[in-house]
Amino acid sequence: MDELKEIIQLVNPWWKSSGVSKELAKEFKRDAFNKVKERLNYRQIVILSGLRRVGKTTILYQMIELLLKKEQPTKIFYFTFDKKVESILKILDSYAELSNIDYKKEKIFVFFDEITKVKDWAEEIKILYDSFPNIKFHLSSSSSINLEEDAVKNLTGRYFLINIQPLNFKEYLQLTRNEKILNNLPLYMKEVHKEFKKYLLRSFPETILWEDELIIKDYLRTMIIDKIVKSDLPTKFNNLNKDLLTTLIELIYKEPGMYVDYDHLAKNLKVSKKTLFMHFYYLEFCYLIRKIKNFRPSTFSTTRKLQRVYPYWWTLAYCYTDNFDKIAENLISSTCDLKYYWRENGKEVDFLLVENKKILPIEVKNKDHIDVTDMKNMLYFNEKNKIKKGVLIYNGEEKTEVFEKTEIHLIPFWKFLLQN
């Protein structure tokens, strides 16, 4: 038996055992699992994207476990492209030989993990999807590099894209068996604050029960950041400067929300502006950074001047700084996937949530107590743009402050995360 067939047998143990181990298909089902499950009976491809180690493969195995309750085991095929192969078609042909299943005619369920590691993956999947409507595809990728571009170009109308994030605070409490807190928040207020502080460094599933913070940070650095910079990106791009990527990560992660002047930065780093842009592109589309643009409410447009850049997920910033003053904004930008801030004439609002031409300003303060000076920029912004509401997230108690033309909702970090 050739090596490819041996690998296929190895990664599809349910063909013989009719089951998936609990280590692979973990008992706890996240909200993202339900989103995938809801799309099972649709013909379209389901694509899971997201940062490394967030649990995409676990969701694939949970779907396999679900299907095994009603489908023939050999009609459920899994393959991970961490193993290098020549083509998707060759994999399917090897699968057919081993399983005695005619994938061109029979209804089958195909799970391809890390699909974007295959060159021209989208073109191949498009041909298979159009040729064999009997195949239900589930795909995953730990990098969005070219994922959305390839999908839009080749798979328009043929896929659902689901972005998988690290654990939210509610999921963390459920997984750490603290669900009782959710059922009676007033009674467990002390525990809420304690668990919230622990959660800030433990939003990745594997780390939730780890006590040693140094080990957690080492895990985040080696298994996520270094793996992407030293392995994933160099495999995809030839003109990549690892040292430049490492320098950019260190700059951004030490100063979450830093303002980027590309001309000035390129000069300081002694690289061309084009090279700098490309390396920001690499980091953004492998889920290591996110850009926040300066929004112009009057024209519903943005300016490229002084973009702000944050780590994609705030937990990663702890590898470089423990300063919660810097991480607090990152926490909210990550959780809400925020795209905009506002700055004009020396005044600034941390974030703007913009939906359907409605704008909600959001301020973030690592403070226990707030006074009107902490809200002055938001009040100015709201009055100028005739906006009646705002949100300020801080460490204190929940309450609402009403001014002449603006209502500002003050809410503690932990509660905002639970309600978000």
The answer as to whether 250 is a domain residue is: no
145 pLDDT above the threshold of 90: no
The answer as to whether 182 is a domain residue is: no
5-57: pLDDT as tens digits:
999 999 999 999 879 999 999 999 999 999 999 999 999 999 999 999 999 99
- Looking at residue 143, what is its pLDDT? 72
Instruction: Please say which residue of 128, 147, 163 terminates a domain.
Output: 163
1 pLDDT above the threshold of 60: no
Residue 28: phi and psi, rounded to 5, are -70, 130
Pairing between β-strand 301-311 and β-strand 289-296 as defined by DSSP bridges:
antiparallel
- Looking at residue 144, what is its pLDDT? 67
Residue range of the domain that includes 93: 3-163
289 pLDDT above the threshold of 70: yes
The answer as to whether 36 is a domain residue is: yes
Residue 402: in which H helix or E strand, if any? Answer: strand 399-402
Of 58, 63, 192, the residue nearest 138 (C-alpha): 63
163-203: pLDDT as tens digits:
999 999 999 999 998 889 999 999 999 999 999 999 999 99
Q: What CATH number does the domain containing 108 carry?
A: 3.40.50.300
Residues 6+ apart with CB under 8 A from 54: 164, 165, 166, 204, 205
Instruction: Please say which residue of 137, 163, 189 terminates a domain.
Output: 163
Instruction: Please say which residue of 163, 183, 200 terminates a domain.
Output: 163
| pLDDT-above-90 percentage for the chain | 84
The answer as to whether 18 is a domain residue is: yes
Q: Partners of 301 in the beta sheet?
A: 296
Name the domain count of the chain.
Answer: 2
Whole-angstrom Cα distance, residue 160 to residue 36? 9
Torsion of CA 217, 219, 220, 226, to 10 degrees: 120
pLDDT bucket at 405, cuts 50 / 70 / 90: confident
Which of 7-16, 276-285, 294-303 is the least confident region?
Answer: 294-303
The answer as to whether 93 is a domain residue is: yes
3-state percent helix, strand, coil for the chain, nearest multiple of 5: 45, 20, 35
How does the average pLDDT of the chain come out, rounded? 94
